Structure 1
Amino acid sequence: MNDQVRYYEPYVSPLDPCPPRRVKSYITPPQLFIPFQPPNLPQFHPYEALMHGTLWPALYSPYGPQKVRQEEEGDD
């Protein structure tokens, strides 16, 4: 499980016309937890750094899979 992903349960109104999402999630970026650059922080090799978009593994945050909305799936 990714420790950068947080979950919460929003308020669901009894008058809400749409079916609610009971659990929502959001991603916290890793730079929130590193207040300054510590010395001797491990680094990716240059090619790996280009593939990950950062030189330091501690600051790497992968993108989750994109979800396609149901309306877009049915449209042709």
Structure 2
Amino acid sequence: MYSQIRVYYPYISPFDPCPPIRVKTYQVNPQLFIGFQPENLPQFSPMEALRLGTLWPALYSPYSGRGDQEGLEG
């Protein structure tokens, strides 16, 4: 499976008055990796699907706030 988190390194100007953020991350949707919905995809149970927001594990994308990505910066 493909990683949903992408990392890039922005240009840092020598004239920027702010402290630079050397590493930035963003998350892509899992729908980008599935063209058409294949048949017989595994499914979550109904209660688990309501809790996670999707019926199919292949389309599940956990939310990670900024606090989860602190180790990637600097």
Give the alignment's TM-score, normalised by structure 1: 0.82
- Higher helix proportion (structure 1 or 2): 2
Calculate percent identity across the aligned residue pairs.
67
Q: Rg: which structure is higher? A: 1
Q: How far has the Cα of 1:65 moved from its partner?
A: 2.7
* Structure 1, unpaired ranges of 5+: 68-76
Any idea what SS the aligned residue of 1:31 has?
A: helix
Aligned residues: 66
In structure 2, the partner of 1:40 is 40
* Moved >2 Å (runs of 4+): none
Q: Equivalents in 1 of 2:57, 2:46: separation in Å?
A: 12
* Structure 2, unpaired ranges of 5+: 68-74
Give the alignment's TM-score, normalised by structure 2: 0.84
Give the RMSD, CA atoms, in angstroms: 1.3
Higher relative contact order (CA 8 A, sep 6+): 2
